[in-house]
Amino acid sequence: MKRVMLSVAYDGTAYSGYQVQENARTIEGELNRCLGDLLKEDIKVIGGSRTDAGVHALCNVAVFDTQARMPGERMSYALNQRLPEDIRIRESREVGAGFHPRRCLSRKTYTYKILNTAFPVPTRRLYSYFTYVPLDVGKMQEAAVHLVGEHDFKSFCSAGSQAESTVRKIECLEVTCEGEEITIQVAGNGFLYNMVRIIAGTLMEAGRGIWEPAYMKEILEARDRRAAGPTAPACGLCLTGYEFL
């Protein structure tokens, strides 16, 4: 028996999220199906980040145990032959039997893309959130500063979260602008349910001038989801980094 870790990239457009669900197409569901086909075993992967429906990833993680003789390093090639073209394995390798992606200390980076143009660009519609309302990137940057560090992010957590504590540490939160595309990049060791999308929605409110950047402190203090901005749409979000520490 060996444990194998996969690094998984996907376009989340056509999926009901990462985590396996009955009667819905999910990334884990596709991995289980293709691994079962390949290894002739009943495989149930243990997932890393449970991205929502429509969210993308460059490097999510899945782990599984198998008795197959095939070396773990070779499985990526064999799996990519079977997977649909919107899911690709970047790497497969054998890991220790005790390795569990959600129990190991990790650092995840999410990137949220906003297209701030006068009209939507069709070739970008699936991978960025479009808004024609002009956003002040300077104000978004000022607002972001208040969220960096360890805070109680209860205001930035959707109902339905199973987290015991809502305290999290954001190591890095940057807002950059290149041409007409605004990128929010956030890194930390753990995020609450919808936290990154609520941060993106809240920073956009600051960018629109609805809230002053310093108001972020009051939102944190409120510890109430209703105090923060809307949950930004899923398509703008991508899991772009996943390291184990």
Residues near its own copies (CB under 8 A): 9-11, 56, 58, 76, 80, 85-90, 118-123, 125-127, 238
**Cβ pair 185, 111 in contact under 8 A:** yes
- The span from the CA of 43 to the CA of 57, in Å, is 22
- How far, in Å, CA of 216 to CA of 225, rounded? 13
User: Between 19 and 166, whose beta carbon lies closer to its own copies?
Assistant: 19
Residue in 11, 42, 52, 86 annotated catalytic: 52
Q: What is the distance between the alpha carbons of residues 165 and 167, in angstroms, rounded to a whole number?
A: 6
Instruction: Kindly report the backbone phi and psi dihedral angles of residue 65, in degrees, each rounded to the nearest multiple of 5, phi listed first.
Output: -105, 140
> Up-side HSE of residue 194: CA atoms within 13 Å toward CB?
21
Nearer to its own copies, 87 or 206 (CB): 87
Please state the closest distance from residue 6 (CB atom) to its own copies, in A. Answer: 12
**SS3 call for 43:** coil
Tell me whether residue 9 or residue 227 sits nearer to its own copies (CB atom). Answer: 9
| Cα 237 to Cα 13, 53, 121, 185, distances in angstroms | 11, 10, 17, 10
What's the min distance (Å) between Cβ of 119 and its own copies? 5
Shortest distance in whole angstroms from residue 242 CB to its own copies: 15
Query: Least separation, in Å, of the C-beta of 17 and its own copies?
Result: 15
Q: Which is nearer to its own copies, 108 or 113 (CB)?
A: 113
Task: Determine the Cα–Cα distance for residues 222 and 53; give it in Å rounded to an integer.
Answer: 28
Active site residue 37: no
User: Which residues are the active-site residues?
Assistant: 52
